[in-house]
Chains A and B, each alone.
Chain A
Amino acid sequence: MRYIDEYRDAHLVRGIAGRLAALVTRPWTLMEVCGGQTHAIVKFGLDELLPGGIRFIHGPGCPVCVTPLELIDKANLIAARPEVIFCSFGDMLRVPGTAGDLLTLKAQGGDVRMVYSPLDALKIAHDNPKREVVFFAVGFETTAPANAMTVYQAHRQGVRNFSLLVAQVLVPPALAMLLASPERRFQGLLAAGHVCTVMGYREYEPLAERYGVPMVVTGFEPADIMQGVYLAVKQLEEGRAEVENQYKRSVHRDGNLTAQRLMQDVFTVTTRQWRGIGKIPDSGLKLREPYLAYDAELRFGVSEHRVAESTDCRSGLVMQGAIQPAECPAFGRLCTPDQPLGAPMVSSEGACAAYYRYRPKKL
């Protein structure tokens, strides 16, 4: 397909790798934030094309992975109610909660449905006026506008049997935390092209300056990622720390203002718990007035439900780039996509799943 195939040209990708080899004088570690990029890197073996000393560590950009256990348990509590039709993206259905996952609940008779867009859930609410339809609003700034628009439309159309279980998180506060960490192991950063398509990259400029870390807004195809690496390493070699935009075909500095306005109308910023990482101030979104009536936690009285996270899974360390997936003792042994201990082994954006799927030889 046009605008995809040409960015997957192996010759082009190798060419950039060669150019990079001519540029680099010392080892550098880059973090790619987005789980979609992690999968592309591992799938296409881009890390293996990098000249000596340049390596990737993988960031926390997998929305399913960072959704806290507590919210998965709340999803299970709500989905178990007989009047509820619980809708979610497919990835979320197999993430283990304290007492099983949503798919198991479905097998036991719960009405759990996989949808492709929150608008599909709103349509189900229209078609089933006697049922309560709940959508699990998981994701970063890429899905927030879609969820905001769905609530906005439900309100406008007077659809009362619809609500959102909100698990919406924001990238820059998590990055600020990783950048400020004394154990930070990366010097440059590839920012996620689709998050920046929505939000632009003004928020990243003070972070790059304050921490002296170059950030390159990067696309998702192999040639995009290699060019992102090239630009980040070029900055590091030249002693610069700026925000650059590799993904100009989709990203503008201000982002998509129409989408941002709607997000701000419907949501307000809140502190959120990131699974395996902990609480990060101002790192998420929750519904605001007049949309609080669409908050599933309030509607079903689960907002006070608390659970402690298990320590068996080291996903928090993986998502902060402190260890690689295969360094976890459970990887591929106690923890597989069929029997996952943690979300990164489940999600199509999870780092553990990427290594399990594309690097079986390294088990």
Chain B
Amino acid sequence: MNILDDDPLSRQAEVNFSGVTKVVSLAFVPEAEAGHYVIVHAGFAISVLDEQEAAETLALLQQIDEAQKGEIAP
């Protein structure tokens, strides 16, 4: 994400969606900064992805996965 305009209402960024770049409004995510991951609906970012929570969710999923491996192994 790359910030284009800094007025709070018309604040915009270029957001890269797996290779396709679109201009997105940041009016609802004043905390967003360049480099952040955002979730976008209808041209507006509605949240900044919480990277710590993402890591924790993934770690939890991997724990479930590990537990399962443990159960399968004879």
Q: Give residues in A with beta carbon < 8 Å to B.
A: 1-4, 6-7, 11-12, 15-16, 18-19, 22, 89, 116-120, 139, 142-143, 145-147, 149, 153, 156, 194, 197-198, 223-224, 227, 230, 246, 248-251, 256, 258-259, 262
Contacts and interface: CB of A to CB of B under 8 A. Distances in A.
B61 interface: yes
Interface residues of B, number: 37
B41 A146 contact: yes
A143 B25 CA distance: 13
B4 interface: no
Contact of A143 (B29, B41, B68): B41
Given A230-B64, A246-B57, A116 B18 contact: no
Contacts of B46: 142, 145, 194, 197-198, 256, 259
Contacts of A248: 50, 53, 56-57
A9 to B, nearest CB: 9
Nearest to B51: A249
B28 A145 contact: yes
B35 to A, nearest CB: 11
A250 B41 contact: no
A331 to B, nearest CB: 29
Contact of A146 (B18, B44, B56, B61): B44
Interface in B30-74: 30, 37, 39, 41-44, 46-47, 49-51, 53-54, 56-58, 60-62, 64-69, 71-72
Nearest to A248: B53
Interface string B4-25: 0000011000000110001001
B21 to A, nearest CB: 13
A227 B57 CA distance: 9
Contacts of B62: 12
A89 B41 CA distance: 12
Where chain B touches its partner, the secondary structure class is mixed
Tell which of A1, A11, A146, A246 has the most Cβ of chain B within 10 Å.
Answer: A146
A15 B64 contact: yes
A256 B43 contact: no
Contact of B18 (A4, A19, A224, A259): A4
Given A18-B72, A146-B42, A249-B57, 20 more contacts: A6-B58, A15-B66, A15-B68, A117-B42, A117-B43, A119-B43, A120-B43, A142-B42, A143-B42, A149-B27, A149-B44, A156-B9, A194-B46, A227-B57, A246-B57, A248-B50, A256-B29, A256-B46, A258-B29, A258-B30
Contacts of A194: 39, 41, 46
Contacts of B28: 145, 149, 256, 258-259, 262
Nearest to B25: A119
Contacts of A146: 25, 41-44
Contacts of A259: 28, 46
Contact of A1 (B18, B47, B65): B18
Nearest to B49: A249
A156 B9 CA distance: 11
B41 A18 contact: no
Given A19-B67, A250-B49, A258-B30, A12 B61 contact: yes
28 contacts: A1-B17, A4-B18, A12-B62, A12-B65, A15-B66, A16-B61, A18-B68, A19-B67, A116-B42, A117-B25, A142-B42, A143-B41, A145-B28, A146-B41, A147-B42, A149-B44, A227-B60, A227-B61, A230-B64, A248-B53, A249-B54, A250-B47, A250-B49, A258-B27, A258-B29, A258-B30, A259-B46, A262-B27
Contacts of A139: 42
Contact of A256 (B22, B47, B56, B72): B47
